[in-house]
Amino acid sequence: MPKAIIAPSVLACDFANLQAEATRMVKNGADWLHLDVMDGHFVPNITMGAPIIKCLRPCTDAFFDCHMMVSDPAKWVDDIAKAGGNMYTFHIEATNDPISVIHQIHKAGMKAGVALKPGTPVDVALGDVAELADMILIMTVEPGFGGQKYKEECVAKALTLRQRYPHLDIEVDGGLALDTIDSSAQAGANVIVAGSSLYGAPNPHEVIATFRSKVDEAQKQWIQ
């Protein structure tokens, strides 16, 4: 089964101290760093881009999980690869040809993830998309802003994916905290993105460890 991966979302950090905030999460046990890239078109917000990722790359060996909330995902693949991205996760709603984007990402040397908004049915990710992608991201909030309320009904998509693709990395992002982790873990998600609940925690190491144990325990039900 895929291992538990905890990916703090730097969207919730103090951007004036980005290097220190990234390092702090890695020291507290984070596996990946989740970097939200927003272009102001696909979502009504603007955050970081390739130049900031490039600056952060020499500061940590952490795996960069780049969540591309952009209207033209194919346009930025090479820039993110050159900046040091490891996973390029684009929204399926932003392209008419997700398979070609997946191939482009792989050709650039990155892993390919495909994200689904809360209102997007899981069916669009089944078949070739899930078989070619390295990860499927289930959004449990509307993309664009941190601090939103967790939509528990969205995790049914993770359950569908886990039942069909037992070895696939399945990520959930949005409102994940100690009081919401259980439903995502039980549905089969193994990659947990959390922002405010980690960066705002008095003891982020303890929260990361709890997330990991919840996922590990839930994964046992999928072992035949």
What are the catalytic residues?
36, 173
Nearest-5° angle of CA 61, CA 62, CA 66?
125
Cβ atoms < 10 Å from Cβ of 167 = 8
> Any known ligand binding at 127?
no
d(CA 166, CA 170) in angstroms, rounded, equals 10
> Any known ligand binding at 183?
no
> Any known ligand binding at 9?
yes
d(CA 158, CA 137) in angstroms, rounded, equals 9
> Any known ligand binding at 123?
no
> Any known ligand binding at 64?
no
> Any known ligand binding at 174?
no
> What would the two tokens of residue 141 be?
């909030």
- 89, 65 contact by CB (below 8 A): yes
Nearest-5° angle of CA 143, CA 214, CA 176?
20
> Any known ligand binding at 173?
yes
> Any known ligand binding at 146?
yes
> Any known ligand binding at 216?
no
> Any known ligand binding at 197?
no
175 φ/ψ sector (left φ>0, alpha ψ -120 to 50, else beta): left
Q: What is the dihedral of CA 69, 103, 56, 15, to 10 degrees?
A: 10
> Any known ligand binding at 145?
yes
Nearest-5° angle of CA 41, CA 46, CA 49?
100
> Any known ligand binding at 196?
yes
Rounded to 10 deg, the angle between the 18-27 and 204-219 helix axes is 50
The alpha carbon of residue 93 and the mean position of all alpha carbons in its chain are separated, in whole angstroms, by 16
Name the binding residues for substrate: 9, 67, 144-147, 175, 195-196
Name the binding residues for a divalent metal cation: 34, 36, 67, 173
Name the binding residues: 9, 34, 36, 67, 144-147, 173, 175, 195-196
